[in-house]
Amino acid sequence: MAPRERLRKNIVKAGKLAGKTTKKVRQRAADRGFDEKLPTTLGDKLAPPRSLEDVQAELDSLVGLDSVKEQVATQIAFLQVQDRRREHGLDDIATSRHLVFKGNPGTGKTTVARLLAEMYGSIGLLEKGHLVEVDRAGLVGKYVGHTASKTNKAAKRAHGGVLFIDEAYALSPPGIQTNDFGAEAIETLIKRMEDNRDKLVVVVAGYPRLMEKFLLSNPGLRSRFAREITFPDYSTSELVQITAKIAEDLDFHLAPGCEKALEKIFRRATRNEAFGNARYARNLFEQALNRQAVRLSTGNVAGLDKNAVTEITVADLEAAVKVLDERPQTKGDAPAGKLRRI
Ligand SMILES: Nc1ncnc2c1ncn2[C@@H]1O[C@H](COP(=O)(O)OP(=O)(O)OP(=O)(O)O)[C@@H](O)[C@H]1O
Ligand SMILES: [Mg+2]
């Protein structure tokens, strides 16, 4: 192979590897809620954009979410056809690319937003297709004039990609607020959504009940969004499948009996607005990994075979749920035991 060709191949290979690593780092960072603070990495620069088919395959591989997948497909198809119309010199139908995601914690909103951004990028509707995730604190300032500049900065970081505003309803707190700059952030956003409509896609997300109030908080807000996509809570069997998928993605496997044990755990978990859905499944699995490590460390660690280090047992899961039960409740992380349904 000619040196030049070998160099080109190596660059593509390095790009793919860096892209994969970046994706993993970002996923873990998003799970811990500090995605927006991550700088652009080498992976972002080197990784070749994935094809629409590849991103679509990842979306399809998510458990459940049938109505969400269908709405995303419709939105992509609609925008592609509008784009073709424009290329034929036909009139632009007033289209918006901004979306509302309504769903409880852990229902897959951030995951789907990231894939959607990538899809927009791969079909050329956005230049980069990256996702910048912010919440109220990332948009609202502390003094007059601070909010507009903070919101504009966030929008600028998201140029060429998606600005994902989690818990967007927090921008419009209930009641009459004299000292709140949330409304200013909304005004600024609306302006950016119009002025930079070709460069920026805004996705606002949050609990369904509170998002309704948010969308009504400013008369010009709701009409700026193309669609409102609802992310339903996962069923018990979907949560079992999600846990199995998380295990598989991380090169683990569930021992016989684990699916039944998981079913029991998820069935008895309290399903209120604070229930963490897939995030709860992930937290449970991460705790099970700790339990597995403790279990294995009592024996001859150097002699552990591949099966031993990749297997999660019923006992690991049961010990894990106990730890979660004892932890103080945070968003997307409902205790399963203490508040259990009878
Ligand atoms: N349908 C699914 N299939 C497989 N894994 C999923 C699915 N939905 C979510 N997950 C996993 O669960 C975790 C939480 O998902 P995600 O962060 O997208 O939820 P969210 O709705 O944004 O939650 P929050 O409102 O708490 O921010 C992620 O690790 C994600 O990979
Ligand atoms: Mg999220």
- pLDDT mean over 307-334: 82
Containing 204, the helix (H) or strand (E) segment is strand 201-206
Whether this prediction's pTM lies above 0.75 is answered by: yes
Question: Do 121 and 128 form a contact (C-beta atoms < 8 A)?
Answer: yes
Question: Do 245 and 285 form a contact (C-beta atoms < 8 A)?
Answer: no
Specify the CATH number for the domain of residue 213. Answer: 3.40.50.300
Q: At what angle do helices 66-87 and 52-61 cross, to 10 degrees?
A: 160
Give yes or no: residues 16 and 73 share one domain. no
Give yes or no: residues 259 and 206 share one domain. no
Q: Is residue 297 part of a domain?
A: yes
The answer, yes or no, to whether residue 282 has pLDDT greater than 50, is yes
The answer, yes or no, to whether residue 318 has pLDDT greater than 90, is yes
- pLDDT mean over 295-306: 90
Which of 282, 244, 248 lies closest to 108 in space, CA to CA?
282
For residue 45, the SS3 value is: helix
Binding pocket residue ranges, ligand 1, CB within 6 Å: 30-31, 62-65, 103, 105-111, 166, 242, 245, 278-279, 282, 332
Domain tally, the chain:
3
Give the per-residue pLDDT at 125: 86
In angstroms, the CA 171 to CA 192 distance is 16
Closest listed ligand to the CA of 109: 1
Distance 105 CA to ligand 2 centre (A): 7
- Enumerate residues 6+ apart whose C-beta is below 8 A from 293: none
Give the per-residue pLDDT at 175: 65
Give yes or no: residues 216 and 281 share one domain. no
C-alpha distances out from residue 196 to 152, 159, 213, 308, Å: 11, 8, 25, 54
Q: Is residue 172 part of a domain?
A: yes
Which ligand 1 atom is at minimum distance from the Cα of 234? 1
Q: What's the angle, vertex CA 150, arms to CA 145 and CA 151, rounded to 5?
A: 105
Closest listed ligand to the CA of 105: 1
Containing 264, the helix (H) or strand (E) segment is helix 258-268
